Chain A
Amino acid sequence: MNDLSQRLRDGVPTPPDLTDVAARSAAAGRRRRTQRRLAGVVAVVVLAAGGVALPRMLADGPPDPAERSEPPCVASPDAPLAQITTQEATWIRFCQPADERATRQARFSRGAITGQLARSVVEGFAYMVDSECGSETPPVPSRLFRAQIGLADGSVAQVAGDTACADDHLFFIQLETVLRGTGGTRDPGARVEPRAVTCPDGLTTTGTNRDGADAGLLREEPGSAALATVPLISGQVSAIDVCAYTGQGDNRTFVEQWRSQSVANILAAATTGYRDGMADCEPRPGATSYVVVLQDFTGTARTFTLDAAACGAMSAAIGTPPEETYLGLATPELVRLVRDSRTP
């Protein structure tokens, strides 16, 4: 050891108490991991929207939407969730939560994923077995959901989640994204180019909807939340158009219009990006509000609105035929994504 080594050793002050560093690092690490996984989801959505990734993944999967209605949810799942790490999955789907708090239920796409795609999806969810909802919780409203996973031996495992928990939210977005990506018409001949949108005179969801080949998939089932989630498009989205307004109530002034460059981000945010509640804040007539029109590859268009002048009140055209429905208060994240979607 030479003199420099000794001088370096002697020259370092006493380290601080590191008692809390491990806990802080673990919490920050969880947040970082979740952010990276969400980034991965967005990347998958982008690829799926381009028709690149999912067709490949579906090479041996069931492309026919009719097959997505089976298998059904079971009343009594009989396998512990840990079984998904030791057995191959044969299917996965969302199921209606067995919970009386219906207003907090997440809206989800109907149908199931089966075959190799189901195995691939469930493998990515293995971390759910040990995940805990902790300080990494993202600012996402609480929505309850349930998913069931069919296993190779015929048993069924169940995940009960809350989108306010980071890992649960990631699970929900991933499954919903794949369901939406595999839903809808697979026939390339049924695809139509997205139409130009004429912005309505005011903040309404009723003037910019259109029924294409997949509109029937949006029909509501009585008493069920098994619907395509907000923004209510069952298959792959081909375009999102945004109309911006100032003013409030019936007194709106059209400002500008653009085709969004953030299709995947807005879709993911809109899926869980609203809270229950009514507008109860100071009116902001100078704020910019939005009409957002989503089109799928078959020409089906559905619309939602974000009223920034009234606390971010969010309404959407739901179902087929579309019906204007108040959903709640949009998260600032969703409003920001729509606002900033002019550029990639």
Chain B
Amino acid sequence: MDDFAEFVAARGPVLWRAAWLLTGDRPLADDLLQTALTRAWPHFDRVSRNGSFEAYVRRTLFTTYAGWRGRRWHGEVPTGELPEVGGLDEVPDPDLVRALADLSPRQRAVVVLRYFEDLTEAETAATLGCSIGSVKTHHSRALAALRSSSLLTDTTLAEEAR
């Protein structure tokens, strides 16, 4: 197994989980991860020598997701009643998926990076290629939207300082 294959075997599942939280759909998560890895592959040796290839793939994944929202997924409309095409019956927490679907792409990305990936505001800003102020704004609006959602009434949504 070469180094790239070893990386995918070791870190692919973590990256796939992030892709799934962004898309809420298994095939789209597969596609998103594959696309990010394809874009990152040519830079594997260079980035691995000089830094974290996982961080590079993560950034590619999130920026690719933002680009898809603009080009490929123009048919997708955020809704509180997701169609059953995503296999929600098999999803452990369908309400969470529906609540995330109500967020804008940037808000969803910030939530996933802050609360799933445990990144700081600065790390989140670096991953998304935006300012810390922009992260704060998206973060605040995302939490406000989630708080008002009837789908997450039993969830604590503290805007913690990190």
Q: Do residues B37 and A12 form an inter-chain contact, with CB atoms below 8 A?
A: no
The CA-CA distance from A95 to B20 in the complex, in Å, is 53
Closest chain A residue, CB of each to CB of B91: A13
The CA-CA distance from A237 to B67 in the complex, in Å, is 38
Interface string of A1-45 (1 = CB under 8 A from B): 011110111111101101101111110111011000000000000
B68 at the interface (CB under 8 A from A): no
Q: Do residues A16 and B26 form an inter-chain contact, with CB atoms below 8 A?
A: yes
B5 at the interface (CB under 8 A from A): yes
The CA-CA distance from A29 to B44 in the complex, in Å, is 11
Minimum CB–CB distance for A153 against chain B, Å? 28
A-B Cβ contacts below 8 A, count: 100
Q: Do residues A11 and B38 form an inter-chain contact, with CB atoms below 8 A?
A: no
B130 at the interface (CB under 8 A from A): no
Minimum CB–CB distance for A36 against chain B, Å? 8
B90 at the interface (CB under 8 A from A): yes
Interface SS of chain A: helix
Given A10-B92, A10-B93, also A4-B146 (CB < 8 A): yes
Given A4-B157, A8-B115, A28-B38, also A18-B8 (CB < 8 A): yes
Bin the interface of chain A by size: 20 to 34
Which stretch, B9-17, B48-56, B120-128, touches the partner chain A? B9-17
Minimum CB–CB distance for B43 against chain A, Å? 9
B101 at the interface (CB under 8 A from A): no
Minimum CB–CB distance for B84 against chain A, Å? 15
Question: With a CB–CB cut-off of 8 A, which chain A residues contact B152?
Answer: 7
Minimum CB–CB distance for B60 against chain A, Å? 11
B110 at the interface (CB under 8 A from A): no
The CA-CA distance from A28 to B96 in the complex, in Å, is 33
Interface residues of B in 105-162 (CB under 8 A from A): 111-112, 115-116, 118, 146, 152, 155-158, 160
Question: With a CB–CB cut-off of 8 A, which chain A residues contact B37?
Answer: 21-22, 25, 29
Q: Do residues A12 and B21 form an inter-chain contact, with CB atoms below 8 A?
A: yes
The CA-CA distance from A8 to B42 in the complex, in Å, is 32
Question: With a CB–CB cut-off of 8 A, which chain B residues contact A7?
Answer: 93, 96, 152, 155
Q: Do residues B41 and A8 form an inter-chain contact, with CB atoms below 8 A?
A: no
Q: Do residues A18 and B112 form an inter-chain contact, with CB atoms below 8 A?
A: no
The CA-CA distance from A24 to B116 in the complex, in Å, is 27
Minimum CB–CB distance for B22 against chain A, Å? 11
Choice from A11, A19, A21, A29 contacting B42 with Cβ under 8 Å: A29
Can you list 16 A-B pairs, Cβ within 8 angstroms, ordered by A? A2-B156, A2-B160, A7-B93, A8-B96, A12-B17, A13-B20, A13-B92, A18-B16, A22-B12, A24-B38, A25-B4, A25-B41, A26-B4, A29-B38, A32-B38, A33-B42
